[in-house]
Amino acid sequence: MALDTADDQSMTRSAMKAELLDAETELKLAYAWRDQRDEEALHRLITAYMRLAISMASKFRRYGAPMNDLIQEASLGLMKAADKFDPDRGVRFSTYAVWWIKASIQDYVMRNWSMVRTGSTSSQKSLFFNMRRIQARLEREASARGETLDPHNLRTAVAKELGVPEHDVEMMEGRLSGSDFSLNATQSAEDEGREWIEALEDEGEQAAETVEADHDNETLRQWLLTALSALNDREQFIVRERKLRDDPRTLESLGDELGLSKERIRQLESAAFGKMRKSLEGRSREVLNFLA
């Protein structure tokens, strides 16, 4: 459930007043939850470290996400950490929880940064959250040396610093350089300005193409009917059953019905197609393909 501003402030105050757990108490609570599924122990563990979750959430406010949403995501990360924590490994819960809290917040920020997915790999996350900071530091260091980094050299330096391909740096720069725009926004400030969506090309079939296709199909149909009418009744029957049905019949089934061998039906079919080809010579390649 979303938190309003008052609830956000109340949760922060409550978290600041929560008990501080020593290593021994923390370990007992972790064992109680893992081995006995003691919900009271889980609640106490989560409550004690909500201040850590809130503190980490506040560091991501610059990305434009509401603070209450960031706190909720941080809380989810904290609960995942509590559920997966293994006290036998000898690591403090707070140390383990930091990773889960940070991962949960970062996933939320990247999901909501743009309607177009920004990225989900470790290198893309590293770029998203560190690129601007590293760019600024590299530019300051270059300026202190009396140098100026051009865009290409800056991208190369960032890629080397983060251990990612230079192409990824270039792509992330493009994604972070602007925000999403509505296709229903007007192209100019005028009241009658066209919306951007009107400038998109319609990939559907155009009216002229539809009319032309219908005309061609009707012409082909008439040519086929003319060629078919030149055949005798048995030949017409074979052509219809073999070529004009949604589920064409086999040579064997036609032979059984007409009292002829499968080979004889094949010969009659071939002869019928030969007559139709002769009638259609010079007409259309599409019709001749029908008889192939």
Q: How far is CA 37 from the centre of its chain?
A: 37
- One domain, residues 30 and 95: yes
- One domain, residues 108 and 127: no
Asked whether residue 84 is assigned to any structural domain, the reply reads yes
224 token code pair: 């086929």
How far, in Å, are 122, 126, 140, 285 from residue 133 at the CA level? 17, 11, 11, 65
> Which stretches in the chain have pLDDT values below 70?
1-12, 113-123, 174-209, 282-292
Q: Point out which residues pair with 142 in neighbouring strands.
A: none
**Using an 8 Å Cβ cutoff, are 269 and 255 in contact?**
no
- One domain, residues 89 and 108: yes
Asked whether residue 62 is assigned to any structural domain, the reply reads yes
- One domain, residues 52 and 130: no
Asked whether residue 199 is assigned to any structural domain, the reply reads no
Q: Point out which residues pair with 195 in neighbouring strands.
A: 186
141 token code pair: 């260091």
Name the domain count of the chain: 3
CA distance 280 to 274: 10
Closest alpha carbon to 46 in 23, 9, 21: 21
Would the pTM count as exceeding 0.85? no
3-state SS assignment for residue 195 = strand
Sign of the torsion angle spanned by Cα atoms 108, 112, 113, 116? positive
**Using an 8 Å Cβ cutoff, are 90 and 60 in contact?**
no
CA distance 148 to 197: 41
Q: What pLDDT, in 10s, does the model give residues 11-50?
A: 667 777 778 889 999 999 999 999 999 999 999 999 999 9
Asked whether residue 202 is assigned to any structural domain, the reply reads no
- One domain, residues 163 and 103: no
Asked whether residue 155 is assigned to any structural domain, the reply reads yes
CA distance 249 to 289: 19
Which pLDDT value is given to residue 4? 46
**Using an 8 Å Cβ cutoff, are 53 and 77 in contact?**
yes
- One domain, residues 70 and 10: yes
Closest alpha carbon to 169 in 157, 186, 181, 178: 157
CA distance 271 to 138: 82
Q: What pLDDT, in 10s, does the model give residues 166-188?
A: 888 777 776 666 554 455 556 55
- One domain, residues 9 and 107: yes
Asked whether residue 205 is assigned to any structural domain, the reply reads no
Radius of gyration of the chain (CA): 36
- One domain, residues 21 and 77: yes
Q: Give one DSSP letter per residue of 221-288, joined into a string.
A: HHHHHHHHHTS-HHHHHHHHHHHSSSSPPPHHHHHHHHT--HHHHHHHHHHHHHHHHHHHTTS-HHHH
CA distance 199 to 193: 12
Backbone angles phi, psi at 165, to 5 degrees: -65, 145
Asked whether residue 188 is assigned to any structural domain, the reply reads no
Tell which of 78, 113, 148 closes a domain.
113
- One domain, residues 16 and 107: yes
Which domain CATH number covers 270? 1.10.10.10
Which domain CATH number covers 13? 1.20.120.1810
Asked whether residue 59 is assigned to any structural domain, the reply reads yes
- One domain, residues 10 and 109: yes
Domain that holds residue 139: 122-176
- One domain, residues 90 and 126: no
Tell which of 113, 134, 153 closes a domain.
113
- One domain, residues 81 and 161: no
